[in-house]
Amino acid sequence: MYMNGDKTIMASCKSCNNTIKPFLRFHMPLAGLFLAEKKDNAISYPLSLCFCDRCTLVQVEEEIDPHVLFDNYMYKTGTISTLKNHFENFSQNLQQHYTFNTILEIGCNDGTFLKNFANKNTIGVDPSDVALKATKEHSNIELYNTFFSANLAKQIVEKYKNIEIIYASNCFAHIPTIKDIVEGISFLLTSKESIFITEVHWLGTLIKDLQFPFIYHEHVFYYSYKSLSYLLELYNIEIFKVEHISTHGGSIRYYCCKKGARSIDKSVLLLRYAEENLELYNFETFINFTKTIYSMKETINLTIKNILSNNQTIVAYGASGQAQTFLSLYELDNDKISYIVDDSPLKIGKYTSSGLIPIKPSSFLYESQPDYILCLAYTFFNEIYNKHSSLNCKWIIPLPEIKII
């Protein structure tokens, strides 16, 4: 919703153009922004999460210039062991079950996935500086260092003719011009054998496990099967199989093809039933989601207040985009959190734009010996805990309900 003169203009769905309904509004800096100095100024932007009651797509109303978001990106897939293993396992699975010569990845980041296909034609599309640097290490990847679009897809098809596998992991939720992207994917599906595979965080997991930290400006869309299916069918693409996967706390891997090219697996129907049971097509579900978020805010802040009142120290683990949302929405800053550790060298020595908390390497935990660690990378908690099990401290897992270990 925005004002134009004396008129109130209702925002439209980016998929079906229907009027969308907001259910969560707050302000935060860009989740991918980390500051070089504490005195730097981080712009805080409004964020309105909205629901479309026609196609059921949940989406962020505000749009940020993609160049601002991704030109100096600080996310590297290869720094997260869980994701490295995930992509390696899936690459093996693909090569066991499908015959192909050419594979294209939209949003290839640092090449962690594509490097597993040294014997194939590998094409990466990614506008970030991270991707540009990575191609120097992985010479098998032909990189298009730009944003994916329908026009770019036409150029790629002209050169490669037949692309059997098109893949997009998580980034499918990041692109506001999604209709242009899907049109481009439709061009790339050049034969009945061609398939498009995307992995996206499932809206069902976000709601039932209260995963609000995944909400930030870079994540424009939050898909259910129904909303993704609606969008794809606008361009003659349909979902023929789905798989539940563990990444990002609970995602869905969608296998897609040109309409009618393959038979529909029963997994698709089962996912639709699961979404209906969770009432993901009902606006009231999202109103209740917002109420629970703010109820949990009181619980988290009371827990931290009690720790500090006992002269104990609390730090955080995981300087991610999720952490920035958590810090913003729950109003946590350097007065409450002494520092935050992260395993990415790109972030060490910087400050979170939410809360201005200094970022240290995880080795610093052993020097300072905090009393409590708030695990903001809670979807990777097992990996983190096993790595640092020798620490003499307590861990706080904040969601979906607060636990102290």
The domain locations on the chain are 77-281, 301-404
Show the low-confidence residues of the chain (pLDDT under 50). Answer: 1-9
Q: What is the pLDDT of residue 73?
A: 54
Strand partners, 228: none
15 contacts 55 by C-beta, under 8 angstroms: yes
Q: What is the pLDDT of residue 158?
A: 93
186 contacts 154 by C-beta, under 8 angstroms: no
Alpha helices in 166-278 (DSSP H): 178-188, 203-208, 225-233, 266-277
DSSP state of 171: G
Tokens of 22: 């907001």
CATH fourth-level superfamily of 301-404: NAD(P)-binding Rossmann-like Domain (3.40.50.720)
141 contacts 125 by C-beta, under 8 angstroms: no
**pLDDT tens digits, 205-256:** 999 999 999 999 989 999 999 999 999 999 999 999 999 998 878 999 999 9
Tokens of 201: 């965080």
122 contacts 164 by C-beta, under 8 angstroms: no
60 contacts 212 by C-beta, under 8 angstroms: no
Q: What is the pLDDT of residue 8?
A: 38
Sheet holding 102-106, edge to edge: 141-144, 121-125, 102-106, 165-169, 195-201, 251-258, 237-245
- Dihedral angle at the C-alpha atoms of 98, 101, 105, 110, nearest 10 degrees? 110
Q: How buried is 184 (Cβ within 10 angstroms: 0-12 exposed, 13-18 middle, 19+ buried)? A: buried
Whole-angstrom Cα distance, residue 347 to residue 147? Answer: 24
Q: What is the CATH number of domain 77-281?
A: 3.40.50.150
Whole-angstrom Cα distance, residue 131 to residue 138? Answer: 10
Indicate the pTM of the whole model: 0.88
DSSP state of 336: T
Q: What is the pLDDT of residue 4?
A: 37
359 contacts 340 by C-beta, under 8 angstroms: yes
> Nearest CA to 165 among 243, 200, 113, 231?
113
Residue 118 CB neighbour total at 10 angstroms = 11
> Nearest CA to 240 among 251, 222, 225?
225
Q: What is the pLDDT of residue 6?
A: 37
Q: Do domains 77-281 and 301-404 have the same CATH topology?
A: yes
End-to-end CA distance of the chain: 43
Q: What is the pLDDT of residue 130?
A: 83
Strand partners, 11: none
Whole-angstrom Cα distance, residue 274 to residue 270? Answer: 6
Whole-angstrom Cα distance, residue 288 to residue 187? Answer: 40
DSSP E strands in 107-181: the ranges are 121-125, 141-144, 165-169
